[in-house]
A = this chain, B = another copy of it.
């Protein structure tokens, strides 16, 4: 299957390479009746688009999305929604040099090992442009979630080791780093200028929270909600870690601290704290889902690095091209999209969990 499909019922299949004709996604299993337009999807792609600030690649792509199927009279029909973004700025520079060696931190070598050769232009299928399909599909998933009262918030929690200490929601879209803490964002800017001056790159941590989820989503064993979220996040290029709720912090905690006491709020069973991050036994508990994702520093840096050619000859290389010194701010929307896809699927899969509700659904 080669792994370009994600999800069981709400299911996305993506295609496309950095310097091919375009990038696309086919979203199958979308419930009928969801209002969708190219404009509503474009808003998500614009958050992912290059050129948003001096801290993102200057590759010039407008990333205009087209809906090719599955929408009629402004609403989804239940049949697959095909989405397509054509590549525009495929610079015609010579890639023959890059074809010959293996860039450190990139998938060049592993593609050759697996497939025998590779589309070496701009990273091919392993380019960050691959995430366009995820974001476009995620926009549809998130619209669906919104109709059920579920909202997702995603932002940079930490960049280059500098952590957001305060949380102001309005700040997120006001600074170039999508951090909810203005002061932290300024420190990151300063730090990043230093690193860019020495042709280096940085990583960071993205936090994502989901509100309004019903209790009961996810399945008890292999398809735990957090297991599917973990897979979704680690499937994003450059992501190296995932944690749910207190995550690695829980590993150093005690049971008496880490357990969340149940209580009743507004007549609903709830928890007094949320160390668990909204899942118990792999099933949503009605609290906010809270997860964090570790993003490695951009692999493409324009300082000299040592590597080897395809035949093993050592060589010193300088990666040219237009690269983000940090991909966290643009990856924020990719994390949001992947979370939306997992939850949309979980909502549909959960509908068959109880025979009494199935009978009610079918009027029997």
Q: Which residues of B contact A349 (CB under 8 A)?
A: 1, 9
A248 CA to B291 CA in the complex, in Å? Answer: 13
Contact call A109/B352, Cβ cutoff below 8 A: no
Contact call B3/A219, Cβ cutoff below 8 A: yes
A110 CA to B305 CA in the complex, in Å? Answer: 51
Contact among B23, B69, B279 with A22 in the assembled complex (CB-CB below 8 Å) = B69
Q: Taking CB as reference atom, which chain B residue is nearest A304?
A: B256
Interface status of A318 (Cβ within 8 A of chain B): no
Contact call B13/A5, Cβ cutoff below 8 A: yes
Q: Which residues of B contact A111 (CB under 8 A)?
A: 78, 220, 281, 283
A21 and B66 in contact, given A16-B82, A33-B356, A202-B254 (Cβ under 8 angstroms): yes
Number of interface residues of A (CB under 8 A): 166
Contact call B26/A269, Cβ cutoff below 8 A: no
Interface status of A329 (Cβ within 8 A of chain B): no
Contact call A2/B21, Cβ cutoff below 8 A: no
Q: Taking CB as reference atom, which chain B residue is nearest A338?
A: B222
Contact call B9/A28, Cβ cutoff below 8 A: no
Q: Which residues of B contact A166 (CB under 8 A)?
A: none
A310 CA to B5 CA in the complex, in Å? Answer: 36
Q: Taking CB as reference atom, which chain B residue is nearest A263?
A: B308
Q: Which residues of B contact A361 (CB under 8 A)?
A: 351, 357, 361
Contact call A230/B242, Cβ cutoff below 8 A: yes
Contact call B110/A215, Cβ cutoff below 8 A: yes
A243 CA to B77 CA in the complex, in Å? Answer: 30
User: CB-CB contacts of A130-173 with B at 8 A, as 1s and 0s?
Assistant: 10000000000000100111000000001011000000000000
A116 CA to B78 CA in the complex, in Å? Answer: 10
Given A31-B355, A224-B235, list of 4 further CB < 8 A pairs?
A14-B222, A113-B215, A221-B235, A241-B243
> What are 10 inter-chain pairs, A to B, with CB distance below 8 A?
A3-B224, A5-B11, A14-B80, A16-B80, A32-B353, A68-B84, A76-B355, A110-B284, A240-B246, A254-B297
